[in-house]
Structure 1
């Protein structure tokens, strides 16, 4: 008997250790049927089963936590400069900024360390918003395909370009589009192998040039064959004055 107990003790000792971890769980409850009051100095009434039925008022585990403030310790494209104070959701702050080491808590010590003064007006940035630089980079690499009819006459107008931007996933109003200096009309198959650019103004401040190409569309036997990865191939400039600029513009990978 003692041998069996000794063996069991050794097996339990060699087994995996149990992890005892404290958790912070707070539930705020309210009695559904409050117990009756008793007279001063009297004997309290006996609680019945219904007095132990509670309604959940608040579960702090699922309650929305307030935003936390962090200070950027370096420049982040599309976010801000070093020393900028951001107010973020806790999950985003921990995952995207604090854990990678891109920001620190906005504690009084860190406010003094990074010389942050929230009462001072923010200095004007080089760009009109934090996302302009990224937007300009995306548009400058875009090859915008403008689909036009192969059988019906047309003249290229800003709304054609706006619609093509929308098909590519960009919302660009017509007033922000500067068309080429010449009139482009068709159908003209010589336009199929040429390109030009339009200028897009962002927030009435920054300007970016976008490479455009005309594609003639038709159905049936008149339909043009598909060219694989056509956006990677440089084409001849439709407007000779735009050729040097188009050569320096990046092509999509």
Structure 2
């Protein structure tokens, strides 16, 4: 049992000059690490005579913990910078309090207060017709090296359908054939230059088109599941 107050030297205290700090039988204390603690006097003071204050002694300043309330463990924030792990700028997320405070300290997010929500609602990013999921995909495409595994023991000619299938196998990325544009030169298994990087264009929701590099690699036993 946790007790707060004076536990030693009670006989040395002059009751005529000692005044307790807390005069209530119950009180609460809020701490950053332990939440809100509720305290109760260990020894309650006697009932006072009407018109006269209670006679409090040193032992009446000893309290014990009778309850504990933990604060919220999550924090609602607005991302101010793009993050591959959490989302894109302007997105409102609910994160663990420790992670949210760390991102706020680094300048990667801010508190989702009514004022900040109103501020970011008028931001140019949120006025874009692109969806949040589309913006996340664009961020991933800009920071990822795409690979398309192809077999070297058979003849093939690269088409949007084959490229889409290869990206799905390698990255679990589903791209429609009409949303993928290959270079204007042929890419075949017979051409040694085909086994290299190529610039392809991917359209996201028909709104934004991004040019990314796709590296054609040889399929082997190590990546046979691709």
The normalised TM-score by structure 1 is 0.44
